[in-house]
């Protein structure tokens, strides 16, 4: 069974993360499949709305750490960067249904979504510092904007998770629902959007985003440079090795 399920019906493309045994952690192949799907959906008139969803117990554990070690992104055309660009520039309404852990890109991608429906078990975390890395997907710009600086510092410097109710309070989630209902609520909202005039949807989203679209892309590029450099440094190596060895990392000499 594919690790990304792609379905299009009634104008709604749904990308379902389907690697639950590994907490829907993204491999390079999964990034490539999602980037391809989003690039195609952006152009395809049969797709009017796109929905990301996971399982009612988990949205995504972020980068697959073992796969990331085996295939570190080697250029700006690497699948992970293609997906980040596709998320940041997607012209049509983008929705997400999020239950359980949403780690790393599992949370940062949501800052590019237009509507987010969270299960009451959703736990959002951006533990890049704990991995010897820095934020990606424009999170260093978008998280302080949405959460306010001090809450962003808790999320990005301490890497502390925040729960569905906090996401609702800061506006990252539109609604909190029982986990068994999150995907259905997102689908219902997507179907409502798919019935609206697409030219109005496109223009409205473009107008809401255009004020800082260039700044977001520039931040994604700057973060990617830092992230790529840090990936090769000792702190990330220690963090990744510790994860594989199921132990706490030791940054005392770094
Ligand atoms: N990369 C690779 N494998 C991962 C993974 C990741 N990011 N997240 C989870 N897994 C694997 C675990 O190694 C485990 O594999 P195993 O069954 O072969 O031992 C399996 O998925 C289940 O994970 P587990 O940690 O036992 O589940 P949990 O419910 O206790 O915790 C998380 C879920 C998401 C909170 C936890 O797995 C986690 O913190 N993962 C790492 C998140 C992370 O740092 N991501 C990188 C962000 S850039």
d(CA 36, CA 16): 14
When the pLDDT of each residue in the chain is averaged and rounded to a whole number, the result is: 97
d(CA 140, CA 156): 8
- Give the pLDDT band of residue 15 (cuts 50, 70, 90): very high
- Ligand 1 within 6 A of 231 CB? no
User: Which residue's CA is minimally distant from atom 48 of ligand 1?
Assistant: 104
Q: Is the pLDDT of residue 237 over 90?
A: yes
27-37 burial code (b ≥16 CB/10 A, e <16): bbebbbbbbbb
What the chain holds in terms of domains, given with CATH numbers, is: 1-177+203-254 (3.90.226.10)
Does residue 179 register a pLDDT over 90?
yes
- The rounded distance, in Å, linking the Cα atoms of 55 and 169 is 23
d(CA 110, CA 62): 12
Which of the four pLDDT bands, split at 50, 70 and 90, describes residue 31?
very high
Cα(242)–Cα(223) distance, integer angstroms: 24
Q: What is the pLDDT of residues 87-116, one digit of tens each?
A: 999 999 999 999 999 999 999 999 999 999
* Percent of the chain scoring above 70 in pLDDT: 100
Q: What φ, ψ does residue 66 adopt, rounded to 5°? A: -65, -45
Best mutation site among 23, 109, 242 for ligand 1 pocket (most ligand atoms within 8 Å of CB): 23
- What's the rounded mean pLDDT across residues 116-137? 98
pLDDT of 245 reads 96
Q: Mean of the pLDDT values across residues 39-55?
A: 98
1 pLDDT higher than 90: no
């Amino acid at each position: 069974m594919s690790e990304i399920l792609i379905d299009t019906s009634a104008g709604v493309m749904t990308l379902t993360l389907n690697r639950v045994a590994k907490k829907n952690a993204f491999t390079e192949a999964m990034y490539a499949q999602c980037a391809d799907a989003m690039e195609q959906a952006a152009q395809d008139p049969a797709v009017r709305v796109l929905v990301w969803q996971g399982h009612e117990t988990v949205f995504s554990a972020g980068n697959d750490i073992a796969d990331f070690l085996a295939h570190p992104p080697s250029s700006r055309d690497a699948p992970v960067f293609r997906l980040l660009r596709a998320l940041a520039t997607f012209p049509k309404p983008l929705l997400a249904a999020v239950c359980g852990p949403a780690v790393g890109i599992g949370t940062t991608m949501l800052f590019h979504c237009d509507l987010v429906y969270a299960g009451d078990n959703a736990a959002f975390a951006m533990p890049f510092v704990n991995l010897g890395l820095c934020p990606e997907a424009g999170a260093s710009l978008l998280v302080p904007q949405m959460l306010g600086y001090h809450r962003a510092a808790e999320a990005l410097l301490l890497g502390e998770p925040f729960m569905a109710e906090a996401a609702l309070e800061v506006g990252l989630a539109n609604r909190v629902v029982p986990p068994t209902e999150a995907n259905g609520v997102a689908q219902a909202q997507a179907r409502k959007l798919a019935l609206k005039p697409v030219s109005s949807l496109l223009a409205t989203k473009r107008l809401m985003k255009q004020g800082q679209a260039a700044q977001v892309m520039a931040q994604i590029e700057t973060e990617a440079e830092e992230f790529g450099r840090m990936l090769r440094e000792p702190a990330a190596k220690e963090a990744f090795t510790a994860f594989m060895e199921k132990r706490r990392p030791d940054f005392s000499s770094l």
